[in-house]
Amino acid sequence: MTAIAEQEWQQVEARKQRIVAQCERNATLAADQLSERLQTEKLSANQLVPVFGVSVDKMLALTSQTPGINIVNVSMPSAEERAELTALDRKLDAIAAKLRGSAGN
């Protein structure tokens, strides 16, 4: 049983390797044709955007680079903090109004 399972596994691996080689060949042919088309034809923005995005993603993946990701943590004020900020805004508005009034004198 083990010998049969091993033989089947080797056949699966051989098929996988053939498929990998075919995919690599197809990708190379497609990349060559795409490069040629990019050099000889004017493509629309709708065509260029996905070509650019996919090309950058693949280049980063194949060179083991990761895209720059910016993570921002924004803390939202609580109801009490919002009330304090609103009160402060009103005080500042009152001060600004006084300053505008005194500038006219």
Do the beta carbons of residue 37 and residue 43 sit within 8 Å?
yes
What does pTM read for this prediction? 0.45
- pLDDT band per the 50, 70, 90 thresholds, residue 1: low
pLDDT in tens, 64-80: 777 666 677 888 889 99
Spatial distance between the Cα atoms of 58 and 65, rounded to a whole number of angstroms? 10
Q: What is the predicted pLDDT for the residue at 55?
A: 85
